Structure 1
């Protein structure tokens, strides 16, 4: 009870007098007024005001207790008096000390002197994390023969035990401390993690007298759920100084493609709030939302990929650099989509149809939700997937990586159904299998990619990727972007590198006459790059980046093969040494919650 000053006390007295006089005029008509007037006329109420006034005057003296342990001092004094002799005076004094009323008075004196009359809360259990201390509530209910009046169930999404219903009139309802949606963390100090509702019923059955619950209130659970850290990897560059539509340039955040951003809020459909990874103390800033960026890209006019130029002297494909250098690496084969000359034409035609057909409406890459992955030294290396349009030099980059460190990098050995040649070795040049076995693996989806050439099957199997990774090497894989999905999972955790061509002027300078292996019969045949081939390469690269940009981790522009190789090798070394890898959030899904959900059922349990 707050002590009032003398002025405040007079105000309360005047208020009390006015209320009394106001009720007197209604006592003859309303029963409630008569009751209120009789309560205000009670002598006990007026005595309380007098006591309050005396205490207020006493408080002004700032009294300090002379003794904080008067009860123990009286007990010691009684024992000492008894040892001194048993006179009438001592008998009377010892008898006074022994009276219950006197003992109680001394105990109250000590409680006031020590200020131990203030209520104390039970300690927070050690099992509660520090981040959750402010949101945890401890509720104690007296157990009777009647149920507590609530039902519990297991949350399907989190596996936690929550209050499903509160029954009106029950102990839980009357207490006003337990509500629907509250998460139960402990019962009588026993953690409920990974426990089923039936196990909790047995814990409650064994409880005697009092049941203590450790609870995360429903409102706090919702707030914690909404405040979970959300990380997005940017798939485009953004400079607020070049954005005339940003509400406030000073409040915006600039970022580059590949940057990881922590999203603070997504409440606005147009502008999200985010901060750069690691800058947790900095204020959040504005970034364009996914919806806004997609609308912007859709409204942009298609840009010319190149300017019409006269036809330059013919140049040739650089697909098979092994034919140029004379170096052959066992198991190093071109992607099977390049098996014939006609595949280039088909791919180029398909790229032109993408730009004018249904694929022109593909959603542009904006953001990708990511989560941190801490690689254990015992874990296999991440799969490295190299993609790019035909002729851009993907296989040459793979070849140079393999030659630079054959103990660290490895390539898969392809499967085929053709007959083994005399100079070829099983499991080194190819894995030779029967047609029936190959087709069975196709049905079982055991190939990353496959195709037919001259009546024979060729393909890269999932098992061959596993074999390279099991050797402790970084597996290098060249596939078409449409095949990335075959290995885009938490098992392989692929690091996808997109190799794109430079501008058409650089292509004229860098793609000189090279040998292109059209088929196995005529290995010395030469194919010449035309102007249309260069245009198709650039068009296909832009289409690939637009359609599969959300899967790409690194972009390498292969203008100069030496520069591109150095950049690629340095980037892969940086990835291998990184303590934290930011991978798609979907890879972080665990199967354990599924098991928990299967075991929880859909019924509530009565407590």
Structure 2
């Protein structure tokens, strides 16, 4: 290839690069026609003439006095509309994919003008794909770069919290695995485009990389999950908040029934939740703190340590009951004592988050008891079953949900073998030591809770050591009060 000479003195490296490229790329060409194509393209006079023209014009303008007209022309030459990008890729096909990838070359907002010299302005995506599929050897694209500023102005920022894990390498449905964006449950994603009903374009929040990746749309992910997940009615149940033993559960009605069952909740497919930034103002009510976990994991101990650490800041709800008041008990202290008839009326009026019957008496936690704590500018600590979370995830309460899970069974045997579990709230004298069956049930219940409701948990703490778990919980609650968090949009725009 003859040496290139021009009158442009500032960019000789460009022409040396163009001259060297065919030999550098030749080892990567799979067929002779690909090598010949490369050679011919880089020897194309029009390509060099175009570059020479731009460099000469720019240099001459730089030498001119900086008049307003010259500055405007220089800015015009720098506009994307005059930077038609022509590039070549060697055709390759993704595994489990019928589309061809041009990874890193085509960006969001770019306008595809030609493919192999064929104008595609008026063609549909499937027609372009057909052209790509029928192409042999190398493929040439002509692209007009998009104006990033315009894209940002046209598309308002939308952020979502991912409620499931996703890896495009494991997804056979994605049209191009290399173009996919991997994320974990809890990741905050900025949605760049929802133009395609099946595949959205997104990037991780705070990522400086301007390029977006493909993620399944909400509707497509829901459809895939419903088709791939068999409906299974699990025999593993949750112990209720009053911690009934197996014997208690056989002789009493299930504690704390809710309007919607746990089985109903499993029909909801977690995909994405639109979120926005939120920071509590000084005079605003505190977020409700909900602790979730299996029986025996240490929820009561953690609540007790929080209350002792700062009784003026933390508080718990006072439950209602229909049982008679005992000696030395005071109404509104241990319980709110009401008649069975009034309790049943309140149940019908949906005043309870959870309720149930134990030894012929009703027990329950009311919504008003939560409001009472929050109105005193205190943090309300609540221990409920996970199937009630959806009823508490409202703009009024803005709950921060902490899942407390047990450690391994080996650690349970080592640290809790001599500890005791209370079977019922009113039967503190009936505490018994843990058994191997208790450990197995604790682990199984924790796994079930995490599988079904893990997308609603904002913090997960493993209670291996109570002091360490308490320190982790205390630090997390401090951040909730002081730092900015991502919360559902409905909590701030209601």
TM-score range, shorter chain: 0.5 to 0.7
Aligned partners of 2:172 and 2:410: how far apart in 1? Answer: 32
Of 168, 179, 200 in structure 2, the residue corresponding to residue 272 of structure 1 is 200
Verify the 8 A CA contact 1:515 1:525 in the aligned structure 2: no
Cα drift, residue 281 of structure 1: 6.6
**How do residues 405-484 of structure 1 correspond to structure 2 at under 5 angstroms?**
405-484=310-389
1:544 maps to 2:449: yes
1:504 maps to 2:416: no
Unaligned runs of 5+ in 2: 1-150, 231-238, 256-261
Correspondence for 2:56:
none
1:229 maps to 2:157: yes
Q: Write out per-residue CA displacement over residues 338-393 of structure 1, whole angstroms, 9 at most, x where no aligned residue.
A: 2454466899x99xxxxxx9779745533222233343221100001111222222
Correspondence for 2:486:
582
Larger Rg: 1
Verify the 8 A CA contact 1:385 1:494 in the aligned structure 2: yes
Cα drift, residue 479 of structure 1: 0.5
How many residue pairs were aligned? 329
Correspondence for 1:559:
464
Q: Write out per-residue CA displacement over residues 119-164 of structure 1, whole angstroms, 9 at most, x where no aligned residue.
A: xxxxxxxxxxxxxxxxxxxxxxxxxxxxxxxxxxxxxxxxxxxxxx
1:262 maps to 2:190: yes
Q: Write out per-residue CA displacement over residues 238-281 of structure 1, whole angstroms, 9 at most, x where no aligned residue.
A: 56677788766765444443221111123445543212223477
Cα drift, residue 535 of structure 1: 3.1
Distance 1:278 1:561, change over 3 A: same
Distance 1:518 1:542, change over 3 A: closer
Aligned partners of 1:301 and 1:462: how far apart in 2? Answer: 35
**Structure 2 SS opposite 1:379:** coil
Correspondence for 1:381:
286
**How do residues 279-290 of structure 1 correspond to structure 2 at under 5 angstroms?**
279=207, 282-290=210-218
**Structure 1 SS opposite 2:286:** coil
Cα drift, residue 224 of structure 1: 10
Verify the 8 A CA contact 1:365 1:546 in the aligned structure 2: no
**Structure 2 SS opposite 1:338:** coil
- TM-score (norm. length: structure 1): 0.47
Aligned partners of 2:438 and 2:249: how far apart in 1? Answer: 9
Cα drift, residue 565 of structure 1: 1.9
1:372 maps to 2:300: no
Verify the 8 A CA contact 2:160 2:191 in the aligned structure 1: yes
Cα drift, residue 458 of structure 1: 1.5
Q: Quote the RMSD (CA, aligned, Å).
A: 3.8
**Structure 2 SS opposite 1:396:** helix
Aligned partners of 2:265 and 2:363: how far apart in 1? Answer: 32
Aligned partners of 1:480 and 1:588: how far apart in 2? Answer: 26
Aligned partners of 1:473 and 1:448: how far apart in 2? Answer: 20
